[in-house]
C-alpha cells in the first residue's frame, strides 16, 4: 500500500513513476469507499486522479499553487495533501469540506465552489508571484462560463506565467488523443525544441535585416500548419501556447509533458482528455447520476438505505411545469447546466424544442430569457439559489427594470446541507426583495407549489418562486387549499397570545410549533405569508394582540422578517438564519442548530413571551 506512506506531495516524489499507477488505484478505491458511505461528487473526482498525482509530482507544493475549477474535483488533492486520515469525515459537520478550503490546508489557496473562477484567480496570483508556478485546472463545462473566457482573454494579453490545464470528458471540444497528436505535442514540449525556437527568434529579431518580418511569416506558417493537426488554434489566438490533447489517464505521458511545459514562460494551455467515473463501472456508465451521489452500495452502485419514497419540491415543480406546457405552447424552460438537478430533464425529454441548457452561464440564461419573453414566449428559468447570485445584475437591469414577463424557479433555497458555504441558498430573499416589479413567492407544500407555478405562468410580470432542497413536508393537520391571489396571505390558525408569520418551508414547522405551545397553554395564530413581495399588509395590520414572530429559511438581515417589520413599523421577533456563512452538514442537523425546527421555533417563542 503506497497511499499509507503519503502525507504530503513531498512523500509522493519518493515513488517511482511505475509505482504511481498503483497509487492511482489506491486513491480511487479510497474515494469510492468514502463517497459510497458519505455521498459526494464521485464521477468527476475519479476522472482526475492521474492528473492530480502528476501535478503534485511535478510541482513544488505548497509554494507552487493549483486552483481547482470547480473545487468538487479536488478529492484526490485532499487525499495527497495530508488529509487522507480525515477523509472519512468528508462533507460531514465539522469534517472535511467537499471543496478546497484554506482553513483546512496550506495546499488549498481559495474556496472554489462556483465555476469559472479558477483562471481569473490564478491569473491574479501569477501577476503577483511571477516566479511561482501557478496552475488552473478547468473542465470543459467551465468553458461555457463568461468569466472563464474573460480570464483566458486577459491572461493572453498580460503574457504572465500561467498554466491552464483543460480537462475534457463528456463534452470534448476536440478529437480524442491519438498517436499523431501525442507525437506532435511530445516534440513541441521538449526543452531542446523550445531552446532551438527561442534561439531562432532571437537571431531573426536582433541579427538579420528584416528579421522581424521573416519571423511574422514563420509564425503565420507555423500556426496554419499546426491548425491542420492540433485543435488548439482558438487558444493560440488568445495568446496561449497550446499542448494537447493528451490522454489524461497516462501518468507517464502526463508527467513527461508537465515537466517540459512547466519550464516554459508565458500563458500555456495543456489539454487532456479523461473519462468521468474512471475505474468504477457504474460511474462510467452513469456519470450524471454519480456526479453528486448519495450513499450507495459499492458492489451494485445502487443507493443505500432506501426509505419510503417521498417526492421533493423539485419533482413537483418538474411535473407541474410539463403539465402546464401541454396546454401552453408559449412556455419554454431554461437552465444553466443543471437539467437533472433542477428537474428540467423531464421538460427536456417532453419538449426538446422548447428547452435550453445554456451551460454554466447564469447571467446569460436570464438575459436570454428576457429576449425570449419579448419575442412572445413565457420563459421559466430554473437555477439553484446560490448560482442565481451570479445573475443579479441581469435580474435588476433586464428583468426588473423592464418588467419582463418571466418566471424564476429558485431551487435549493435555504439550507442545502453537505455542499456547505458555497452552496447554501440563504441570501435570495434578501437580495431579491429590493428589486422593483419582482413578485416573490414561497410554497408551504406540494399543492401550494403547483398553485404558485400555475399562478406565475398566468401573470404578465416577473415572478420568482423559491423552494428548498428537501422532501415535501408531511403534516397531520388538515390545511386549506385557498386560491393564490396576488399579495394575499392565509390565516391557518387563530390564537390570542402571539402571531407567527411564516414563509415557505417554515410554515409547517411553525404550525407544529404552535401545537407544541398550545399544549402548554399558549395560543398562537399562524399565518402563511405566501408572498414576500408584495406582503399582505391588510392581514398583517389586523394583528392587534400579542407579539409577532416571523420565521424564514433565509438570512435575517434584509429578509422576510425585515420586510414585515418595515411594513408594520412595530417590533417583530425574527427567527431565521444569521448573517454568516454556514458550514456543511446534513440539512436536518443544520436546521436544528439554527432553531428552525418545530421545537426550536417553540423554544424561541416561549423564551420571548417570558420577557414580553
Catalytic residue numbers, as ranges: 276, 362, 390
**DSSP per-residue letters across 133-180:** -EEEEEEGGGGGSHHHHHHHHHHHHHT-SEEEEEEESTT-SSPPP-HH
Could you give the maximum distance between any two Cα atoms of the chain, in Å? 99
Q: What is each CA distance from 513 to 41, 279, 498, 504, 527, in whole angstroms?
A: 36, 49, 12, 15, 13
- Strands 439-441, 498-502: parallel, antiparallel or unpaired by DSSP? unpaired
Cβ neighbors of 161 (< 8 A, separation 6 or more) are 126, 130, 133, 134, 265, 266, 267
Alpha carbon distance, N-terminus to C-terminus of the chain:
65
CA distance 259 to 63: 16
Q: Which of 166, 171, 175 is nearest to 276 (CA)?
A: 171
Can you tell me the distance from the alpha carbon of 482 to that of 575, in angstroms, rounded to the nearest whole number? 26
Report the candidate in 99, 109, 84 with the shortest Cα–Cα distance to residue 45. 99
Q: What would the grid cell of residue 194 be?
A: 523550445
User: Do residues 321 and 380 touch, judged by C-beta distance below 8 A?
Assistant: yes
Q: Which residue has the cell 514563420?
A: 218
| DSSP 8-state code for residue 565 | H
Contact (Cβ atoms closer than 8 angstroms) between residue 3 and residue 79: yes
> What are residue 425's DSSP bridge partners?
414
Please answer whether residues 225 and 154 qualify as being in contact, where contact means their C-beta atoms are separated by less than 8 angstroms: no
Residue 78: count other Cβ atoms within 10 Å of its Cβ. 27
With CA atoms as reference, report the closest residue to 63 among 104, 109, 27, 94: 109
Radius of gyration of the chain (CA): 27
Cα–chain-centroid distance for residue 562? 28
Distance CA 397, CA 407 (A): 16
Q: How far apart are CA 218 and CA 58, in angstroms?
A: 32
Q: Which of 600, 601, 580, 596 is CA-nearest to residue 420? A: 580
Q: Which residues pair with 331 in a beta bridge?
A: 378
Q: Which backbone phi and psi does 487 adopt, to 5 degrees?
A: 70, 20
Environment class of residue 349 by beta-carbon count within 10 Å: exposed (0-12), middle (13-18) or buried (19+)?
A: exposed
- Kindly state the DSSP code that residue 306 receives in the 8-state scheme: P
- What does the alpha-carbon distance between residue 195 and residue 375 come to, in Å, rounded to a whole number? 57
- Beta bridge partners, 591, equal none
Supply 58's cell numbers: 511535478
Amino acid at each position: 500500500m503506497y497511499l499509507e506512506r503519503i502525507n504530503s506531495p513531498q512523500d509522493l516524489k519518493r515513488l517511482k513513476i511505475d509505482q504511481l499507477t498503483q497509487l492511482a488505484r489506491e486513491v480511487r478505491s479510497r474515494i469510492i469507499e468514502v463517497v459510497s458511505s458519505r455521498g459526494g461528487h464521485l464521477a468527476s473526482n475519479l476522472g482526475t486522479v492521474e492528473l492530480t498525482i502528476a501535478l503534485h509530482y511535478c510541482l513544488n507544493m505548497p509554494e507552487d499553487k493549483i486552483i481547482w475549477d470547480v473545487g468538487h474535483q479536488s478529492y484526490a488533492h485532499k487525499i495527497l495533501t495530508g488529509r487522507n486520515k480525515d477523509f472519512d469525515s468528508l462533507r460531514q459537520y465539522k469534517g472535511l469540506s467537499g471543496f478546497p478550503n484554506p482553513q483546512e490546508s496550506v495546499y488549498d489557496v481559495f474556496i472554489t465552489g462556483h465555476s469559472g473562477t479558477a483562471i481569473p484567480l490564478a491569473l491574479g496570483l501569477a501577476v503577483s508571484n511571477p516566479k511561482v508556478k501557478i496552475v488552473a485546472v478547468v473542465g470543459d463545462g467551465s468553458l461555457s462560463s463568461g468569466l472563464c473566457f474573460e480570464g483566458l482573454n486577459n491572461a493572453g494579453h498580460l503574457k504572465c506565467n500561467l498554466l491552464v490545464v483543460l480537462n475534457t470528458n463528456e463534452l470534448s471540444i476536440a478529437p480524442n488523443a491519438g498517436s499523431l497528436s501525442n507525437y506532435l505535442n511530445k516534440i513541441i514540449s521538449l526543452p531542446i525544441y523550445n531552446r532551438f525556437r527561442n534561439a531562432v527568434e532571437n537571431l531573426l529579431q536582433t541579427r538579420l535585416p528584416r528579421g522581424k518580418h521573416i519571423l511574422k511569416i514563420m509564425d503565420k506558417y507555423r500556426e496554419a500548419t499546426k491548425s491542420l493537426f492540433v485543435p488548439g488554434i482558438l487558444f493560440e489566438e488568445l495568446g496561449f501556447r497550446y499542448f494537447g490533447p493528451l490522454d489524461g489517464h497516462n501518468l507517464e505521458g502526463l508527467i513527461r509533458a508537465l515537466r517540459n511545459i512547466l519550464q516554459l514562460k508565458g500563458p500555456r494551455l495543456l489539454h487532456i482528455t479523461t473519462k468521468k467515473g474512471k475505474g468504477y463501472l457504474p460511474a462510467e456508465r452513469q456519470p450524471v447520476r454519480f456526479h453528486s451521489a448519495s450513499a450507495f452500495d459499492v458492489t451494485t452502485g445502487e443507493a443505500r438505505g432506501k426509505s419510503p419514497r417521498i417526492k421533493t419540491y423539485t419533482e413537483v415543480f418538474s411535473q407541474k411545469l410539463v403539465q402546464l406546457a401541454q396546454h401552453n405552447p408559449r412556455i419554454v424552460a431554461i437552465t444553466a447546466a443543471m437539467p437533472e438537478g433542477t428537474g428540467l430533464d423531464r421538460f427536456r425529454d417532453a419538449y426538446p424544442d422548447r428547452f435550453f441548457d445554456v451551460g454554466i452561464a447564469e447571467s446569460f440564461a436570464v438575459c436570454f430569457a428576457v429576449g425570449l419573453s419579448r419575442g412572445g414566449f413565457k420563459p421559466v428559468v430554473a437555477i439553484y439559489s446560490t448560482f442565481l447570485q451570479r445573475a443579479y445584475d441581469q435580474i435588476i437591469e433586464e428583468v426588473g427594470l423592464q418588467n419582463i414577463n418571466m418566471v424564476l424557479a429558485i431551487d435549493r433555497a435555504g439550507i442545502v446541507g453537505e455542499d456547505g458555504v458555497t452552496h447554501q441558498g440563504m441570501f435570495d430573499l434578501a437580495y431579491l426583495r429590493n428589486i422593483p416589479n419582482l413578485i416573490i413567492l414561497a410554497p408551504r407544500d406540494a399543492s401550494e407549489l403547483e398553485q404558485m407555478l400555475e399562478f406565475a405562468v398566468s401573470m404578465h410580470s416577473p415572478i420568482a418562486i423559491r423552494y428548498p432542497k428537501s422532501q415535501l413536508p408531511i403534516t397531520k393537520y388538515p390545511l386549506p387549499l385557498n386560491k393564490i391571489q396576488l399579495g394575499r396571505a392565509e390565516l391557518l390558525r387563530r390564537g390570542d397570545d402571539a402571531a407567527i408569520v411564516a414563509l415557505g418551508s417554515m410554515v409547517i414547522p411553525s404550525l407544529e410549533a404552535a401545537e407544541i405551545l398550545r399544549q402548554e397553554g399558549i395560543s398562537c395564530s399562524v399565518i402563511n405569508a405566501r408572498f414576500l413581495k408584495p406582503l399582505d399588509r391588510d392581514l398583517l395590520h389586523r394583528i392587534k394582540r400579542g407579539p409577532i414572530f416571523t420565521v424564514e429559511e433565509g438570512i435575517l438581515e434584509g429578509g422576510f422578517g425585515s420586510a414585515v417589520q418595515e411594513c408594520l413599523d412595530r417590533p417583530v421577533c425574527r427567527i431565521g438564519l444569521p448573517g454568516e456563512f454556514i458550514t456543511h452538514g446534513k440539512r436536518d442537523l443544520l436546521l436544528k442548530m439554527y432553531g428552525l425546527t418545530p421545537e426550536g421555533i417553540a423554544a424561541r417563542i416561549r423564551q420571548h413571551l417570558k420577557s414580553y
